[in-house]
Structures are given as structure tokens and as C-alpha cells.
Structure 1
């Protein structure tokens, strides 16, 4: 609980080689500053401590220093909260220790998240710091969706279950979609398609997540930029036995050399679209596989939800690729889903009021299901959750 009258929240996203930051004023949700410190460990930015100090210096140069009484909290993005952390959490020593114990579940992300937390606490030990977990929004998934059909004792011993990721984005977008429809989130069933280099889908019933495509790790589910998404588990055994590949080799293959990159050599949808326009068959096939998987998940989550009020596209590809949106939902008229070709075209001009949301509908007039493009705002979601917690 924080008794400060400050309304500003600094959001930190500490990655393995970068620190992204945004300073927001929760009085009106405005961004006061944002930036990124990259190539940590190279050159003058030797470690995360140096990176965070650079962030502090950049903010101070703008008159927005970390010593400002207007600063109410620091919100940290933490990728994996396991089953313990299912909501925003004030950070104390025991919380840091618990996040460290979850590193085996997110070895590429949680270590950097923890380092960022430790350095930020050193810089402002008196300031409330809040961990907001990517997995938290998906913690409401029922057991029949969260459990894998493997030996229960083995699964429990090693924490093997569906956790899901991109939770702050799915939370924000599902709520913003309801707002776009003029309804309370509790009244709306939404399928959220977060399509960036990493991609995930979620089924949200009345504001509560009931299923999501990513699993124990961010590898499961949709075809992504460099990740395979869903795959027969026996492929791993086959590659080990027949291909002589090690566990690390297969891990690198499925996470870094698969997905769109593995299929056609590019993981940028803009470049793939350009190549498709030139008749490139491998780019076309990669695109077709990508949208085929999307369509399968839309159908599956329609069955899970029973009633779908809206489908929301978000993140880099979801927000900027009319071709992906149109192809993913084509032929789904029987499910009440129709995309308006004009509204979905790249040249269509949308009027966005000053300071207003750029969320928009692209569904046709006869579509029973609203189809929306809703720009995500994970930093605002983290700030909102952190500020609500410290203000009590």
C-alpha cells in the first residue's frame, strides 16, 4: 500500500540484452517518456545495472528523474509466474526468491526480469515495485484446458501444465474490445489473436480467460516468426534418433529456426507479402500454413466459448496485415464471421479522434460476430495494474 499522491508509474521490461521503459501518468494514461537501452554486455552498457542507470539518467535529463515525488511505483514485466503468482504482486525479498525458483520454466526470460527488479530496487529501495506476470491472465483456465494428458504425478512434480503468455496484451485487448462494442467485459465473449513475431490466441468468456494457445512455454500454438507452434511431440524423438540431434539442437530448431523463417527464410510478414506478390511459392506456402493454423484456432475457440461476440486482432501482424486478417477468417460465414473487404483494406481511412482509441471494426454489416483491430498496450496494462495495487 502506498500513501504517495504521485500518479506516475515507470514500466520496465528487462530482457536478456535490452531494457525497455515507459513512464506513464495514470491521471490520464499519458506517456511522459519511453525508450530502450540495447546491446547490454557490449560496449559502455556492461550490464543491467549500467542499463538501468542509463534509464535513470535519460529520465533525469527530461526532468522526470526517479527521485520525483510524482513517481508512485515501478511496474516490472515478468514472463513466468507459475501457479503461485496469478495477480500483480508487490515485490519483497521473498517474491524475488520465488521468481528465481521459476527460472527453469522460463530460462530465457525470468533471469533478466529478476536482474531488472534487483537493480531497480537498489536505485529506489523506498519505492513500491510491482511484478506483473505474463501468465497471470491465463491462470483462470480450467483444469480440463490447462492439464496435459500425461502422468499426473510427473506433471505435478515438474510443473508441466498450460500457463500461457502475452497475458497483459490479452487482458488489455479483450477489455478494449468490449469497450469498442459499448459493453461491459463481463457481457462479451472474445477471441483475441495476438500476432507478432511471437503469436498466441485466447478464448475470453465474460472477461475471464478460459483457454489459450501457448502452453508450458511460448513454443506451443500458432505458427510464429521463428517458432514452430503445434507439432507432433514424436518429431523431437525422431530428430534425436534418426537425425542425431541433441536436445539443445532441437530446442534451437523449434524456437529459432522454424515458423515462417523455417518455411521460407523470412519471419517478417511484410517481406513475405512482397515475395508473394512476385509469385514466390515458398512465401505463399508459409503464408497459407500460418493462416490455416489461425483458422483452426478460431474454430476451436468458437466451440470452447459456445457464443463468440468478437474476434480481435492485435500486435504487429494483427494490427498491420489486412491480408492475414482477411485470409484467416475467410470461409467462416457459417460461424457468423464476415470481414468487410473495404474496411479491412490497407487504403481505408479511419477517423481517430485526438487522444482517442484507434480500435476499429472491420466486420461486414451482416456479420453476427464483430471483427476488430485493437492496438495492444501492454505497458499501459502493466502500469494500470501496478498503480491500482499500490493505491489500494
Structure 2
């Protein structure tokens, strides 16, 4: 009996520990409506966000990413003097700053980690530079091991592929790096420059953190003035989808996995058929199985839903109102059951359930109030 009783107590303790495990969501924001980085608790069953807590007050802390184990957050202050903070996530969800380093430029607008987590990649919009920052064993950051300055003639002022009546024109006045990331193998690095209408291609030496321009070192955008913004790789790592901000178009690129170079494929509109006027495409997210693609359209305030065929062909399925204004980014939860929209100008986050069969989105009547949300990420349960 005592042995059985002890086993029962141990089992109950394990169950209690599992039930108490809490997943966190982290939301970065813009000043003045947003005051920094907020932590939320996540309901595992409903995806609801609760217990909003301001945990870091870095100015314009609009960009962030996290280590795979969820133990370290990296936050960029999107200010002219770019700063990146490395923050340890404690068991209770509080943050302890490890250190701060320069972003290697001005106005950092995107952060990503290499697949092995050894380097942090930074795109600096204002200066048009990219940087590689080494990640130390304790999660803190070293000074940049490499920086690159985009150079060239600005792209066309007016996007030729935009819909009729569009005045979606911004920053074709010089280099403006907008995103940087590696392919799934971690061997190749790609960065977009909205101002120059280019996608840069590099090889990465993971030991030294140095970049070598590929051959060719860049390719031009799918159309003049398109404004290449963000991209997502296919699960197989043999291609990517890129959203063009000013033309509001999606372009599929095939990746030569041996050479690390991209070849442009088909381009389609991210806006509904028949739409006329101005809109700026923003974030995009691909489902974990690679079959559903979602795109945020700012001004039109919609999420465009596409299904992806085996050969990369897109089929437009729906346009869903975000129930907010100026959706900047979209985030899928770790199970792909819920999609979240960061509505920057309406100061809220909206949530949609994702149908497992066809990826259809259904709005959940639950608004989360947060000033000027920019990005949302999840870390594993603690």
C-alpha cells in the first residue's frame, strides 16, 4: 500500500506540474501608445491572451525574436541609434537583461537567428545595413562579426505592378534593408532592400560569422518599385514566398540548394480581385505544413488567404477583415490552431481560429488591447 500511495502522489505531482506549466506570448510595440515589450499568458485550449504585463521599456522596442529553447529574448530598439538587448527569461516570466550591443546600423527592423542559434541577424532600415551578431553561450551578444552596407541606385518611385489608383509610395530614396534570414540549412543568407528593389544573396561562414556575396550578389525585385519586404521559406527549404510592400504582390522564388541562389517564379496580387486604391502589404506567414499562406494587407485591413499546391501555385481562398486597422504582422501559434493579427493603428490584437482541413480563418470575439503592436512571438511553456 505505501508504495502504491507514493506512486499515486508522484503521479499527481507530475500532472499538477504539467498543468501549471505556462506558455508565454511576447508582444513588441511602438511608442508612445506602446511602452515596450509586454508578456501575456496563453490559454492552451483557446489561444486567449491574458495577464498583460509590461516587462521591458526599451524605446520603440518593436522587433524581437527568441532562442529555440525560449530562454533568451532578443529585442531591437527601432531608433536611429540601433540597439539590440539580450534578455534572459526567468521561470516566472520576468526578464533579466544580459547585455546591449549596437545593431550595426540605424533603425533595426528585423531580427532572426541562424538555425543553430549561434548568430543573430539584423536588418537596419534607416541606414540600409545588415549585421551578424555572435550569440555567446549564456545567450548574451557579441559585437557584430560582419556588417554590410547596401549600395546602388534607388528603385522606381511608383510601383508599376500596383493596382489602379494606388499611391503606395515610400522610401525609394536610397538603401533600406527590411528583412534578413537564412535558408533552413543555415548556409545561405538573404536580405531584402525596399529602397533599392533588391534581394541580396550571401554565403555564411558559421564559424566566423562572416558573409560572402553569392554569384550573383543580388537579384532585382519582381517589378519596378515593388518594394520587397518579408519572406518565408517552404518547409522543404527549396523556395520562398516574398511579399512586395508597395505593389502588394506575392512572388515565389525557387532556391538552388547547392548554390544558394534564387530564381523568380510567378507573381500574384495579395489584394482582392477588383480592389482599387492604396494599400501596403505587410507581414506574411506560412502554415507549418506549407499548405496555407496568409498575408496582411494594410489600409485594406485584411488577411489574404491562399492555398499552396505541391508545385508552388497559389490559389486565392478568401479575404478576412482583421477587425482592426493597419495589420503589421501575423503570427501562428505553435500548433497552427490560431492566427493573431497585430493591428498597429487600432491598438489591438485580434485572434482567428484556423480550420485544420482547409485553413479557413474564423474570427474569435476577443480583442486584446495593446498600444501600437508590432510583433508577437511565443516561447515554450515554463
**Bigger relative contact order, structure 1 or 2, given CA contacts below 8 A and separation 6+?**
1
TM-score normalised to the size of structure 1? 0.31
Normalising by structure 2, we get a TM-score of 0.32
* More helix, by proportion: 1
